[in-house]
């Protein structure tokens, strides 16, 4: 069965020895209280986790149009970041990077259209890599640990497990992409053009 927000939170509760939940709806019962707690914490945990790495399962491309009002100086145009933006990965084409600055949720540049690769708020956890789902479950368990168990020891143990799992998930996710070479990094190759380590 595909993972959902509720199933991730439910599994996190099971890790803590608590009863699972079937929905985020409050109903006045103990399950309802756990559901409210998990439902309040989950969006923050999810968004912070997505922002922590260039996850392949949360990557999007877009060509942004300029806003009607140009910046006051330095750049000729500004572009509104997408509503689901979490983190900027690449501005411009890979072989032709663009000089830009990011100010709040806008990007300023000297172009008439802005190619953007970014991490988006992928709320469909069923489309996530299984490693990322596992990390999210552990992070939810860490966030829920003290409210559920009243134990600082349990909370620290869960937090340590989540940190180790996150490092492993980032490593696996990064291995799915081809290694970057000097040819892929124009600024790096330009800097070292004409040099040799054998001189």
Kindly tell me the number of DSSP H helices and DSSP E strands found in the chain: 5, 7
Which tens digits make up the pLDDT trace of 145-198? 999 999 999 999 999 999 999 999 999 998 877 665 444 444 434 333 343 333
**What pLDDT sits at residue 188?**
38
Which tens digits make up the pLDDT trace of 37-82? 999 999 999 999 999 999 999 999 999 999 999 999 999 999 999 9
**165 φ/ψ angles, rounded to the nearest 5 degrees:** -65, -35
**What pLDDT sits at residue 30?**
79
Residue 32 has pLDDT above 90, yes or no: no
Mean pLDDT of 97-122: 97
Q: List the structure tokens of 92.
A: 């411009």
- Count of beta carbons in the 10 Å neighbourhood of residue 100: 20
Give the closest residue to 81 by CA, choosing from 101, 99, 107: 107
Which tens digits make up the pLDDT trace of 2-18? 899 999 999 999 999 99
DSSP 3-state assignment of 95? coil
Buried b / exposed e along 2-30 (16+ C-beta atoms within 10 A): ebebbbbbbbbbebbebeebeebeeeeee
Q: What is the average pLDDT score of the chain?
A: 89
Residue 96 has pLDDT above 60, yes or no: yes
**What pLDDT sits at residue 63?**
98
Angle, in degrees to the nearest 10, between helices 152-175 and 130-149: 170
């Amino acid at each position: 069965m595909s993972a959902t927000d509720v199933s991730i939170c439910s599994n996190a509760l099971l890790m803590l020895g608590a009863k699972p939940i079937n929905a985020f709806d409050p109903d006045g019962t103990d399950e309802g209280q756990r559901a409210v707690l998990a439902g309040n914490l989950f969006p923050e945990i999810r968004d912070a986790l997505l922002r922590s790495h260039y996850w392949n399962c949360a990557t999007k491309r877009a060509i942004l149009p300029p806003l009607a009002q140009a910046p006051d100086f330095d750049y000729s145009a500004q572009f509104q970041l997408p509503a689901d933006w979490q983190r900027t990965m690449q501005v411009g084409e890979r072989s032709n990077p663009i000089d830009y600055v990011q100010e709040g949720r806008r990007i300023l540049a000297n172009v008439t259209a802005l190619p953007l690769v970014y991490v988006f708020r992928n709320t469909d956890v069923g489309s996530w890599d299984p490693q990322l789902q596992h990390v999210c479950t552990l992070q939810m368990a860490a966030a829920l640990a003290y409210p559920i168990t009243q134990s600082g020891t349990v909370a620290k143990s869960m937090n340590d497990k989540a940190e180790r799992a996150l490092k492993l998930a980032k490593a696996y996710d990064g291995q799915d992409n081809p290694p970057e070479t000097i040819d892929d990094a124009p600024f790096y190759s330009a800097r070292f053009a004409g040099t040799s380590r054998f001189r």
